[in-house]
Amino acid sequence: MKLMLEILTHDLLGGVRHGFFTRKGGASSGVFAGLNCGRGSGDQRDVVATNRDRVAEAMGVGPERLAGVHQVHSAEVVVVTEHDDISQINENRADAMVSTVPGVALSVLTADCQPVLFADSENGVIGAAHAGWKGALAGVLEATAEAMRGLGAENIRAVIGPSISQRAYEVGWDFMEEFTAEEPEYARFFAGGPAGKPMFDLPGFGLTKLREAGVEAAWTGHCTYSDAERFFSYRRSTHNGEPDYGRLISAITI
């Protein structure tokens, strides 16, 4: 029996088909139990393919129209056109995609990093970005908005999906120094933690970067680390001594 998928949506992207998928409703088992969509994980390839097929069906596209990229924590953005072979898109080393092509679902994989879905529904432009701390600091969110404007977007809205929250994200002092060396005001995204180390507010940083880029933005408020039943988390898996972890998928289409 195929279990029901759980798909989180947000009113800010109303009018555009989108979803932040939880781990519920998938075919994977063990540490990957649920909807693991990560081809780069150690999960069985055919099971991952089954999970991805279920996502494509939920998004109303064929499996071959579910686009992704080889994520490398960069600020690189791929423009998906009607002439592209979608099956070849995932060979691109990048962390965001933008498109105006109907019937193509742009997707990103995460397991604590920010999945960010973008849309200008009036002008038919969409985007999806994987924004961990490296990509966010490098400018992947601003680059995605700029690429969308290059395709005719004007009123861009974006939503950050389930990500690791500040209360679960302890970092080292060198991590904090890398941010404050870039911009001293970034110190406001760090708070003191119970162990005396900084705690980083990744979604808060992402929201600020989006708004500075002229994008109306929101976060769904879900913490991947804190809810093992619904979300995969790289950090939680590491803390638990697990050998691998599943990847959540987020997608958007027009």
Q: What is the pLDDT of residue 1?
A: 45
**73 has a pLDDT exceeding 60:** yes
Q: What is the pLDDT of residue 2?
A: 57
The proportion of the chain whose per-residue pLDDT surpasses 90, expressed as a percent, equals 94
Q: What is the pLDDT of residue 132?
A: 98
The 10s digit of each residue's pLDDT in 58-71 is 999 999 999 999 99
| Closest C-alpha to 215, from 160, 159, 161, 156 | 156
The 10s digit of each residue's pLDDT in 165-208 is 999 999 999 999 999 999 999 999 999 998 999 999 999 999 99
C-alpha dihedral, 124 to 143 to 160 to 212, nearest 10°: -100
Q: What is the pLDDT of residue 87?
A: 83
Q: What is the pLDDT of residue 242?
A: 97
Between 29-38, 82-91, 113-122, 229-238, the lowest mean confidence (pLDDT) is in: 82-91
90: confidence class by pLDDT, cuts 50, 70, 90: confident
Architecture of the 7-165+201-253 domain: 4-Layer Sandwich (3.60)
**3 has a pLDDT exceeding 80:** no
**4 has a pLDDT exceeding 70:** yes
Global pTM value: 0.97
